Amino acid sequence: MRPRRKRVGLLVPSTNSAAEPELARHLPDEVTVHTARMRMTPEGGPAAMLDTYLPEAVTDLATLGPDVILFACTTAGAMRGSAYEASLLREIEQRTGAKAVSVMAESVAALRRAGARRVGLLTPYPEEGTRAVADALRAAGFEVPVAKGLQIEGVRTPELTPDDLIAFGREALASAEVDTVFISCTDLFTLDAIDQFEAAFGKPVITSMSAGLAAVERELGAAVAS
């Protein structure tokens, strides 16, 4: 019998098509990724996703016996504040027995490690989502001189290319004095393009998924060490 592979549980909005393949492709072969989807609809939005559908998704993941769980919705982590998100992660840990991490909290931590002070925020979101993430960054102590969203309505993010994001970012950041760029949203393919983003913007770039991946790798390492 082969040794048991490490298992990562992934909590995503039901419409997300990027986080699962991004995470799986960048983790070692001996790690498997297992996704539970939190239903996201135009009518219910993030509130119904969190209050109605998240508990069922967590219950499903618990049956898997995961080693780490990544809560991979940046806006949901931002909208209700860091105290709510921390409480949510503790609840997930209690119900699953696995370490839980979130992309919003881990993005804040990654920005701090990068020495960021003035953050340029780029998102695909409508105004409400962009404002929620900007407010969360400001609450964490960062200045956010620029917070621009692509104003994509609804719950489905088109498959934007790195070139699409670079063109948008160059325009949004053209006259801004920022030292770091944060690209928010786990429903974007960004992990293979970090170097490309940094070359285009001339600054360190953190994305929701780069922060989430780093957290999962850290916790898997801790699980192996123990």
Question: What digits encode the pLDDT tens for the residues 117-152?
Answer: 999 999 999 999 999 999 999 999 999 999 999 998
The verdict on residue 1 lying in a domain is no
For position 189, which CATH number holds?
3.40.50.1860
Q: Is residue 62 a part of any domain in this protein?
A: yes
- Indicate whether 37 and 114 sit together in one domain: no
Domain that holds residue 199: 106-207
Specify whether the CB–CB gap between 138 and 82 falls below 8 A.
no
Number of domains in the chain: 2
Residue 225: its pLDDT value, please? 47
Digit-coded pLDDT (tens) for 93-107: 999 999 999 999 999
- Does residue 67 sit in the same domain as residue 153? no
pLDDT score, position 5: 84
Instruction: Say if 26 falls within a structural domain.
Output: yes
Give mean pLDDT in consecutive 10-residue pieces for the chain, a chain of 226 residues: 84 94 94 95 84 94 96 93 94 96 98 98 94 97 97 73 96 94 96 97 97 97 58
Q: How much is the pTM? A: 0.93
Looking from the CA of 168 toward its CB, the CA atoms found within 13 Å total: 21
> In terms of domains, do 20 and 81 share one?
yes
